[in-house]
Amino acid sequence: MEPLVKHRGIAALLPRINVDTDQIIPKQFMKRTEKSGYGKYLFSNWKYREDGSLDPDFELNREAFKGASILVAGDNFGCGSSREHAPWAISDHGFKVIISTSFADIFFSNCFKNGLLPVTVSAEALKSLSDEIEASPGVSFDVDVENQELITPGGTVIRYGLDPFRKESLMKGMDDIDWTLKHADKIYGFEEKLRMTTPWLWKGYGIKPL
Amino acid sequence: MGRNMYEKIWDAHVIHEKNGQTPIIYVDRHLMHEVTSPQAFSGLREKSRKVRRPDFCLATMDHVVPTKDRDKPISDAVAKKQVETLAANCEEFGVRCFDMTSEKQGVIHVIAPEQGFVHPGMIVVCGDSHTATHGAFGSLAFGIGTSEVEHVMATQSLQQKRSKTMGVTFQGKLPSGVSAKDLALALIGRIGTAGGTGYVMEFAGDTVRDLSMEGRMTLCNMAIEAGARAGMVAPDEKTEAYLKGRDFAPQGREFDQAAAYWKTFTSDEDAAFDKELVIRADEIVPQVTWGTSPEQVTDVTGCVPHPDKQGSDEARKACENALAYMGLEPGTPVVDISIDYVFIGSCTNGRIEDFREAAAMICGGKVHPNVTAIVVPGSGLVKKQAEEEGLHKIFLAAGFEWREPGCSMCLAMNDDVLQPGQRCASTSNRNFEGRQGQGGRTHLVSPAMAAAAAIAGKFTDIR
């Protein structure tokens, strides 16, 4: 996973609430067995009209948002299914940061597994960021992971919360499995203990260290 | 101070916990399907890793499988590859898989309970948000992403932050014609789809105690639609009776030993929750969603709302968008909404009790000439039991189609797809735009409401 320490990029505004993972990556693109190449399907049902042309009414199709890497969206972003195809598509499309007033739990956690930073801000802050984008479409924001700050050219500075472990993981591009395997002996020890508590689940199964 | 059920299960599964680090918890059950597992298996293969506990895993094909012409190969080449990939992966890594030739195949959240695979006190995960279903057994069950699927495969554990807890108490006797589905929809209508974000919900109260295991599964299944990662119900004698004798339940003396252990996970009398909510179940009437989010729901006696009456600008805009997509006018009574399609099935309502309730509404009636109605059993065993009870004959005689098990039109990844503009009364869990087919319009209802709508050609108050 690529580390994310500092990022500067165009902020695109998607002023919709309850954006669900079915919209982020419609199910017709989930039959693939690969992990990459989902970017072109991002928001596919909203992005295109029936004849396959770009829908000019879809907010992210605005010319000013071309090449955007920061997505600013309404409340409860990423609700619905657990599909990691959603952050895969967002990331593959070129986004690095998503800003909203709240995120659905599974989506939020999936973002970090893919080097994507979800930033939760207050309703007032979201309004101020949205206003700034509307006032100067194509504006770029700065996101500083280490200092947990979001800075706009309009002078807004937002300090956001970030779990210290997730922050470290994001900044170093850490691999979760590698990290957990550092505690392999603890997992094995735990299983040894469990075998005593719930023997009916462990019959005929010899456990070995990881 | 006592502990609640979530806290007890959590505490019993913490492997590693250190300040400033995400805790590592142990996973007892890992369920898999064809859509969210292939990339995880590939990840294992790239690093030459094994599945740590193949005996703790159960896999099946459900999302993309066809529900008719099962004797023929799958016509969609990409779907076919996904199904074959799961079979090959399970073979290679030693994971038990009920494939399309097995009568135990079906929707993963229907077959795992049916096999007695999930027990109280367990932590259960699956790359699927409706894993919440299994909380009905007093387990902590939640959906995970594919990276986490790989993590669980490799380490039998998960890095997970502790959730907040919400106690949701339903009080009073469910009125006739009102089911667990209506409880869930009414709850979501009240707190919204983000109302439970950050929480795990424990459902309690006399209404919940009176629900069958099937009803509890429906309720817990929809917890995710309220934003909660998991829903759970304390195990009791119904839970034990359901599990007893099933293939993966402990047998004989061990069952009693296990049952005693399961009881230790119920919330203490003096346990506290971060948030508590009490809902009068005896005041709930059948629910129908009118929009494109499960929170856009109203009583069957109600009307499609007016965007101007929504609380915020954002809600007004969401309401306008939803009405435009759904092709509905504000003020239209719900019972005046005509439908084209009926889908009875899914991990929410694809169990035997759901089919009994739906069949009971038919009473010799016929599916309305303007309506296509399909019934899709949640599993091969549900199908078999329904046929033993003669339910399929009731559906077929009324003009419903009786299909093979799978997720089917809940998310329309197979051939069961709405055409643009078609309106469906569906027993599934999500009414998102395009969920049942691009341009398709979904109204979420209970199985009895769906069956009644199939006959009437529009929504009716079944009470």
pLDDT confidence of A171, banded at 50, 70, 90? very high
The alpha-carbon radius of gyration of chain A (Å, integer) is 20
Amino acid identity at A61: N
pLDDT digits (tens, 9 = 90+) for B126-142: 999 999 999 999 999 99
Chain A, window 146-205: residues with a beta carbon less than 8 angstroms from a chain B beta carbon: 163-166, 176-177, 179-181, 183-184, 186-187, 190-191, 194, 197-201, 205
The predicted structure's pLDDT at residue B121:
98
Query: For residues B126 and B304, what is the distance between their CA atoms, to the nearest angstrom?
Result: 36
Distance of CA A5 to the CA centre of its chain: 15
- Is there a contact between B227 and A105 (Cβ–Cβ < 8 Å)? yes
Residues of B in contact with A131 (CB under 8 A): none
Considering only CB atoms, A106 lies closest to which of B79, B143, B430, namely B143
Residues of B in contact with A205 (CB under 8 A): 53, 55
For residue B185, give both structure tokens. 């929809």
Q: For A6-19, what is the mean pLDDT?
A: 97
DSSP letters, B185-231, are HHHHHHH-TTTTTTEEEEEESHHHHHS-HHHHHHHHHGGGGGT-SEE
Burial (0-12, 13-18, 19+ Cβ within 10 Å), A34: exposed
- Is there a contact between B297 and B289 (Cβ–Cβ < 8 Å)? yes
At residue A1, does pLDDT exceed 90? no
The answer to whether B417 contacts chain A (CB < 8 Å) is: no
Query: For residues B247 and B443, what is the distance between their CA atoms, to the nearest angstrom?
Result: 36
H helices of B298-351, where? 313-326, 346-349
Q: How high is the ipTM of this complex?
A: 0.96
Q: For A134-147, what is the mean pLDDT?
A: 98
**What's the pTM?**
0.97
Residues of A in contact with B39 (CB under 8 A): 33-35, 84
Residues of chain B with pLDDT under 70: none
CB neighbour list of residue B71: distance below 8 Å, 6 or more residues apart: none
Distance of CA B449 to the CA centre of its chain: 18
For residue B3, give both structure tokens. 């502990």
Q: For A77-104, what is the mean pLDDT?
A: 97
At residue A203, does pLDDT exceed 90? no
Query: For residues B389 and B205, what is the distance between their CA atoms, to the nearest angstrom?
Result: 32
